[in-house]
Structure 1
């Protein structure tokens, strides 16, 4: 018998060379909504991009990649 299960989502933010794992606040939310939710606590997320999901350790892993640019 084949049973389908939904994998939990995990979000990773790299800040100051350290990876921070963020839990999924609400599985029904879009990934963008989760990014917006955490941007209140992590201001760098206001300009972050969302990587393509990867599957690792029976979770769906999303990386929030901050974009640090120069003015000019």
Structure 2
């Protein structure tokens, strides 16, 4: 997840869930995810990575 220039990793709560379901799950903890966009997938070392990038707090 990328928020206000900071990037950190969220674990997958359930591999069967869709990307949107995971984002909704974490939105309870990170409210900025309600307006985030999904970027990806990016495959690296047998890992599928999606990024949640928020646009809140930026103008333009």
TM-score bracket relative to the smaller structure:
0.7 to 0.9
- Listed as ranges, the matches of 1:1-72 within 5 Å are 13-68=1-56, 70=59
Query: How far apart are residue 19 of structure 1 and its match?
Result: 1.0
Report how many residues are paired: 58
User: Structure 2: how far apart are the matches of 1:48 and 1:32?
Assistant: 10
- Structure 1 residues without counterparts, runs of 5 or longer: 1-12
Please report the TM-score for the alignment, with normalisation by the length of structure 1.
0.71
Q: What TM-score, normalized to structure 2?
A: 0.84
Q: Distance in 2 between matches of 1:27 and 1:48?
A: 20
Task: Report the RMSD for the aligned CA atoms in angstroms.
Answer: 1.4
More helix per residue: 2
Gaps of 5+ in 2: none
Cα deviation, residue 51, structure 1: 0.8
